Amino acid sequence: MPYLANLQELTRPHIPGVSFPLLRQARWRPKTERPQADVVNWRNISVALLEPPEVMRIWQEVGASVVRNCEFEIRLLEQLYTFKRGGEVLQFIERYSFLVPVMLEAYSIIENYFGPYPQVFLEVISDPEVKGLVGLFGYIATRLTYEEAGKRLRRFDRDWFLNQLHQVKGLLNFDVEFL
C-alpha cells in the first residue's frame, strides 16, 4: 500500500505520540476474536488517519483529483463494531465518510464508560415521520441495570458526544441495547 507508506513519511514529524508504521501495529484478528489491550491504541490510529494539511496542499499543487480511500478505516470499523444489515451500514459510511474518524474515536471513549471491548452494533435507521431522513445508530450492548446504563450513557453524551455534534451533522447517535 504505497498510499500508507507516503502518508506515514509525511506525517511522522507532525503527529506526536503516534509510532509508525501503522501496518505493524494493527494486527488483524478474526471477527470472533477481540484484540489484546496492548495491540493497538485506537485513538492514536484515528489521529494518524486524518489527512495532514501538507498532504492536501501537495495534492492541490499538482492538480490531482482528491479521492480518499477509506478501505483501511472501514476495516478498523469492522473490527470494532458489529454491522447490522452490513450492506446498508457500509453504503452509509462510504456516503458520509466524515463520520469515520469520529466513530473510531467513539469506540475508545465508549470503553471508558461501558468497560473494555464493548459490543456496539451499528445500524442505519430511517425516521418514519420524516421521509428520506436516515441516521446511523450505535447500540451499546450491556447487561447493566436500566438506571446504571442510562447514567453512563448520559455521562458519555455530556462528557464527549455532545462536543462532536458539529462533526456528525445529526447523522450519528448512540444508545444502549440491553442483553
Report, as an integer, the average pLDDT of 63-80.
Answer: 72
Peptide bond into 30 cis (omega under 30): no
Of the spans 67-81, 128-142, 163-177, which averages the highest pLDDT? 163-177
Find the mean pLDDT for residues 40-49. Answer: 48
CA distances from 124 to 14, 17, 160 (A): 35, 34, 22
Domain count, the chain: 1
Q: Is the pLDDT of residue 23 over 50?
A: no
Sorted by sequence, the CB contacts under 8 Å of residue 3 that are 6+ apart come out as 69
The helices-and-strands tally (H runs, E runs) of the chain is: 9, 4
> Residue for cell digits 504505497?
2
Per-residue model confidence as pLDDT tens digits over 116-167: 999 999 999 998 887 778 999 999 999 999 999 999 999 999 999 999 999 9
**Helix 2-11 crosses helix 53-62 at what angle (to 10 degrees)?**
120
Q: Per-residue pLDDT averaged across 43-48, rounded?
A: 47
The confidence score (pLDDT) of residue 54 equals 53
Is residue 40 pLDDT above 70, yes or no? Answer: no
State the Cα–Cα distance between residues 11 and 55, nearest whole angstrom: 9
For residue 97, what are the domain limits? 2-178
Predicted local distance difference test score (pLDDT) of residue 32: 47
Is the CB of residue 51 less than 8 Å from the CB of residue 68? Answer: yes
**Listed ranges 19-28, 90-99, 120-129, 149-158; the one with the highest mean pLDDT:** 149-158
Q: Is a pLDDT exceeding 60 seen at residue 97?
A: yes
Asked if pLDDT for residue 7 goes beyond 80, the answer is: no
**Confidence label for 89 from pLDDT (cuts 50, 70 and 90):** very high
pLDDT recorded at residue 112: 96
